[in-house]
């Protein structure tokens, strides 16, 4: 490799924003000023949200997720700051138990999630397979056993996968029930509710170690018109919390074979107006989940193409069984519409990681557009237009990926150093006076 090739690779990596596996496009470029036409190829960032796939793109995604959540809480990026005074809740909806799993309780001990309807537990300390159904260990948070069932045979894998597959539908039914109850409270029908008040939300799915999805939801009550409008005075945080509680305990979703899916018993509701620190804590919490894969490894980062691939690639026995169960359930004609094969790497969860109602705040698309406009404004030279087609992934020189990850690591280190220095800096004359 000569000096010119090396310089070209460095330039390519920089232009792709230090992306590890950029998308390669090629096509005709037209210089808008001179009319000159030329063939060109370019690499654009992959925009993958998962840190194990692309450190640089996931860092950008994490920042965008932070802004998305934060602007809905306190305003910004086109959302008025008035929303900060509206009732806002942080709600966590959980999955029911599908069998006891190893866990770390607040006191440090492991008592598997207990489901009183579980007859096997009621029978005694051993399950029908002769395995102990209690665990006296104090697991460390790094313990591989965490989230794994006490008895693999007793764990209801089908139930767990199907629950994940219906979690989004269950949420849709829940938000409808919340809006219906608010309409009843206001004495109007559901259609007329938006003339009185609106409820906006952002939800993020978190895959627990036991392989079931939890939904974290930011709910905000707004007035009927533009977001600057105050909600009616009767619509307080306390009332909203009561309505959510009722809706969550009554909501259900039905499967194709008549199964009824409901939320787990654990429901957490926090009033976000109670502490200003929540306005930074909650966006950080959401952003943290946004860049994770199902289990935090590469094994479950992508769709599987065969049953054998699951058996070979996924080391964790619990994760493997969940993925295989999803794959096998797809063979049942009644369950075909769930596309469980396609979602086997998410243990059946078919929903998006982050979803929101339209008016909660800005969108990922808007944030990306703003960034692209900012970057193109900084690029010198004549504007160009072009039509491109997909040519593949990655750099021609495989060292491009290494280079990108090194550049990104250095950039992040410098950025973090700068942030620390800023926090440590003595107050300026203006601040001190």
Q: Which residues bind Zn ion (CB under 5 A)?
A: 19, 45-46, 54, 57, 102, 110, 127, 129, 135, 137, 151, 153-154
Of the pair 134, 172, the CB lying nearest Zn ion is at 134
SS3 187: coil
Shortest approach of Zn ion to residue 267 CB, angstroms? Answer: 24
Owner of token pair 């159904």: 133
CB of 134 to Zn ion, least distance (A): 9
Measured from the CB atom, the residue of 151 and 338 that comes closer to Zn ion is: 151
Contact indicator for 341, 327 with CB cutoff of 8 Å: yes
- CA atoms in the 13 A half-sphere facing the CB of 273: 15
CB of 303 to Zn ion, least distance (A): 18
Dist CA 337 CA 197 (whole Å): 35
In terms of Cβ atoms closer than 10 Å to its own Cβ (0-12, 13-18, 19+), residue 429 is exposed
Tokens of 226: 């533009």
Q: Which residue, 153 or 391, has its beta carbon nearer to Zn ion?
A: 153
Instruction: Give how far Cα 410 sits from Cα of 31, 47, 254, 403, 404, Å.
Output: 34, 20, 50, 11, 10
Least distance between Zn ion and beta carbon 398 (Å):
15
Q: Which of 177, 347, 353 is nearest to 253 (CA)?
A: 177
Q: Where are the alpha helices (DSSP H) in 130-235?
A: 157-186
Strands 354-356 and 198-207 turn out to be: antiparallel
Residues in CB range of 95: below 8 A, 6 or more apart: 160, 163, 164, 167, 208, 212, 213, 214, 263, 264
Closest CB to Zn ion among residues 124, 381: 124
Of 200 and 318, which CB lies nearer to Zn ion in the complex structure? 318
Provide, rounded to whole angstroms, the least separation between the CB of residue 405 and Zn ion. Answer: 10
Query: Minimum distance from CB of 135 to Zn ion (Å)?
Result: 3
Toward Zn ion, which CB reaches closer, 51 or 338? 51
Cβ closer to Zn ion: 60 or 181? 60
Closer of 154 and 215 to Zn ion (Cβ):
154
Residue 262, token pair as written in the block: 């409901």
| Distant-in-sequence, close-in-space partners of 132: CB < 8 Å, separation ≥ 6 | 125, 126, 150
The residue (of 21 and 220) whose beta carbon lies closer to Zn ion is: 21
Q: Smallest gap, in angstroms, from Cβ of residue 110 to Zn ion?
A: 3
When the beta carbons of 156 and 230 are compared against Zn ion, the nearer one is: 156
Q: Residue with structure tokens 């309807």?
A: 117
| Smallest distance from Zn ion to CB 410, Å | 17
Q: How far is the CB of 47 from Zn ion (least distance, A)?
A: 6
- Rounded Cα distance between 103 and 208, Å, is 11
Smallest distance, Å, CB 191 to Zn ion?
44
**Which H or E element spans position 385?**
strand 384-393
Closest to 250 (Cα-Cα) out of 163, 160, 174: 174
């Amino acid at each position: 490799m000569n000096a010119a090739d090396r310089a070209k690779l460095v330039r390519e990596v920089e232009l792709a924003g230090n992306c590890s596996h950029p998308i390669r496009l090629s096509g005709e470029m037209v210089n808008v000023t001179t009319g000159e036409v030329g063939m060109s190829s370019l690499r654009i960032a992959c925009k993958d949200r998962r840190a194990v796939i692309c450190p640089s793109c996931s860092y950008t995604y994490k920042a965008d997720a932070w802004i998305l959540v934060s602007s809905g809480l306190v305003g910004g990026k086109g959302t008025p700051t008035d929303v900060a005074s509206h009732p806002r809740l942080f709600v966590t909806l959980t999955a029911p138990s599908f069998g006891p799993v190893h866990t770390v309780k607040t006191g440090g001990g492991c008592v598997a999630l207990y489901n009183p309807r579980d007859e096997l537990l009621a029978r005694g300390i051993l399950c029908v397979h002769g395995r102990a159904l209690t665990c006296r260990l104090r697991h460390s948070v790094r313990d591989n056993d965490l989230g794994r069932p006490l008895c693999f045979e007793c764990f209801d894998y089908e139930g767990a996968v199907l629950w994940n597959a219906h979690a989004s539908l269950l949420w849709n039914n829940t938000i409808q029930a919340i809006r219906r109850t608010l309409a009843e409270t206001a004495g109007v029908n559901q259609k007329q509710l938006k003339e009185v008040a609106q409820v906006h939300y952002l939800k993020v799915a978190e895959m627990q170690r036991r392989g079931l999805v939890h939904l974290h939801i930011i709910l905000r009550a707004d007035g009927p018109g533009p977001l600057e409008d105050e909600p009616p005075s009767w619509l307080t945080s306390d009332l909203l919390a009561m309505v959510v509680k009722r809706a969550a305990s009554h909501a259900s979703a039905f499967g194709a074979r008549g199964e009824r899916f409901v939320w787990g018993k654990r429901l957490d509701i926090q009033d976000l107006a109670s502490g200003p620190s929540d306005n930074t804590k909650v966006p950080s919490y959401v952003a943290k989940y946004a860049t994770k894969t199902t289990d935090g490894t590469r094994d479950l980062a992508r769709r599987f193409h065969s049953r054998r691939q699951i058996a070979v690639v996924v080391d964790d026995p619990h994760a493997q069984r969940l993925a295989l169960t999803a794959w096998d359930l797809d063979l049942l004609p009644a369950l075909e519409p769930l596309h469980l094969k396609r979602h086997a790497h998410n243990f059946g969860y078919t929903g998006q990681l982050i979803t929101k109602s339209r008016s909660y705040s800005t969108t990922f698309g808007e944030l990306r557009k703003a960034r692209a406009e900012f970057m193109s404004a900084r690029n010198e030279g004549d504007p160009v237009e072009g039509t491109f087609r997909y040519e593949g992934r990655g750099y021609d020189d495989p060292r491009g990926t290494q280079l990108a990850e090194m550049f990104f690591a250095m950039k992040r280190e410098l950025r973090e150093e700068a942030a620390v220095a800023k926090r440590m800096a003595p107050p300026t004359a203006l601040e001190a006076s």
